[in-house]
Amino acid sequence: MARPSIATCDPSARPCLATRGSLPRSRTCAPLLFLCLLLGLTVFCADANPSDSKLLCSRLLPCEPSIEMVRNCKNLWKLLDRKVSVPCRKITTLTRTVTLTELPDKTMEAKCLQGMFELIDSAFFNETKLQEIAKGATEMNVPIYRANRKLVATKNGGLENPSPLVFNPSWNREVQRVQDKRFKYPSASGVKLPRDEEDIAFMSVLELGELIKTRQITSKELVRIYLKQLKRYNHVLEAVVTYTEELAYKQAKEADDLLSQGTYLGPLHGIPYGLKDIVAVPGYKTTWGSTSFKDQFLDIEAWVYKRLKASGAVLVAKLVTGSMAYDDIWFGGRTRNPWNIEEFSTGSSAGPAASTSAGSETAGSMTYPAARCGITALRPTFGSVGRTGVMSISESLDKLGPFCRTAADCAVILDAIKGKDPDDLSSREIAFEDPFSVDITKLTVGYTKDADMKVVEVLGSKGVNMVPFELNYTVESVQGILNFTMDVDMLAHFDEWQRTGQEDLYEAQDQWPVELRRARVVTAVDYIQAQRARGKLIREVEKSFTVDAFIGNVTDWEKVCMGNLVGLPVLVIPTGFKNITDPPTNSCRRRTTINAGIYAPPERDHIALALGMAYQSVTDAHRKRPPIDDLGPDDSIPNPPRALIPPRRLHI
């Protein structure tokens, strides 16, 4: 069999690897081949017969002697970074000869980018989006690549820095039960039913539970009160997506009937609550806050909904999530902060934070809105609450947790929803100790430089050993690791949404659309390197976490990213209030909340809860009521708001 002809750069040049022919052992034009394969280009020369070569695509480049080829390779790589000048050379195509200077720089750049994206079967982006991806990849992806490679990829063999993402081949889905000890809730005996419905609405879970247990009020009556409150304020807060009124009264009747028969299910028996609208409930829309999914019905009963229903709780509403669980903008508007309705609640658990309920966090969606709205919230240890039936951003980051009035309420909710979900491989049966039985005087608790010193002083006065503390680690790419992990995982879950152009309907184009387009060009290798760097971070944080817990700023972005990557629990507590900036009158009732975070090691949520309960036992910031629409004399909310909203950051 005759060897096929080889198109060469000139009669004396070595064969070019981008053309047909056997591969020579001598030095070749490998740099150019690599670039051409990446960009979807085919190389051949003006003096070669095009019919002798099988073209990979119609975009062509000249093949020249090796030094010039390397120079051209470097120039083409620069197209991904910035505009460059293109030398005037001839390109021979199947139909005609053109010069590169006939093509504008932007057009050449777009063609190169289009060729590259065709190789990864992603030729559905227009030129504008391609330019945006190239800019974003250069400014954000590349520095993260380099930082992670330097951190964990300088040695071969995989003997160090393993990824924390572990494969479990077991087919056994039977839950290995740990000793099931329920928390011992403190008695709320002596609680009397207030006359004012507003006072009832602001009672704690344990107080409401006592009213139900002693039959001072029925679940049906509580449902009526809470639905009335939601409907009264929702036009201001924009916190409710769907009222589950029919279901609520049905569940309330079941709770009342059980109690009349002598069956009491515990402190959540007959208590109204809401769910973030990424949690599926049969018979009701699960919109994910998005125009693309606003009419979606999922015939799934989410695990967390099952757990709450089994505890006797009554669902009254599906609450706002930012579109596809990003920030506070959704298809119906933008959720506001009840303490200052000129501000927005921030974070995708916007509705739960504005009305107290159950929410979720991947990267700040509980901590930020809880801090902004002045309520107590627990982001639990990763894996402690099952996520079946909940929209997923990242299987290794997503967490579900409560927004409540008090730390004690958060403990009650955690006790109800924790446990192994058979269909959620990352969930676990964790034997939490009873937070109501922790002796805080035996704890050593650190406080960072940015901690609220009021919390430090109060806990110190309660007998806690308070010490200065800083969590130290060498990983510098923490925020980038979180972005890579979250964005790539999210794109895997919404690949079809992007490929079919539904991203163009998204409510805030500077959010998921930009993030997920950039995620499209994160390589598999660099994703795994990010996970290896994450593993290094986890081990360093474990070594440095030498206290039982620490007090720190809960909205510091580095702490948010670190905590979510490591899986740390954190309790957000309100600690006070201050006047808003530039109030319209001296009698303005709007306030800016002050808050703190109590961080604990994984599976030590009970320590954070115990410290939070101790703090709240002698303070009252958590009992304050927001003005919402009761703004005070001569105060009104201008439209559009005067308050400057800072650039959005990932609050997922």
Residue positions annotated with a catalytic role: 276, 348, 365
Distance CA 60, CA 295 (A): 47
Q: Nearest 5°: phi and psi at 91?
A: -120, 125
Tell me the three state secondary structure of residue 73.
Answer: helix
Burial category of 427 from C-beta neighbours within 10 Å (exposed 0-12, middle 13-18, buried 19 and up): buried
Structure tokens at 385: 């609450």
Confirm if 537 and 481 have CB atoms less than 8 A apart.
yes
Distance CA 528, CA 151 (A): 13
Q: Is 322 left (phi over 0), alpha (psi -120 to 50) or beta?
A: beta
C-beta atoms surrounding 279 within 10 Å: 28
Tell me the three state secondary structure of residue 114.
Answer: helix
Structure tokens at 318: 């599906």
User: Which DSSP helix (H) or strand (E) runs through 572?
Assistant: strand 570-579
Burial category of 238 from C-beta neighbours within 10 Å (exposed 0-12, middle 13-18, buried 19 and up): buried
Q: Is 283 left (phi over 0), alpha (psi -120 to 50) or beta?
A: left
Q: Nearest 5°: phi and psi at 21?
A: 130, 160
Structure tokens at 542: 């474990």
Q: Which of 294, 355, 356, 349 is closest to 321 using CA atoms?
A: 349
CA distances, 421 to each of 144, 177, 230, 399, 627 (Å): 34, 11, 31, 13, 40
Which one-letter DSSP state was computed for residue 139?
I
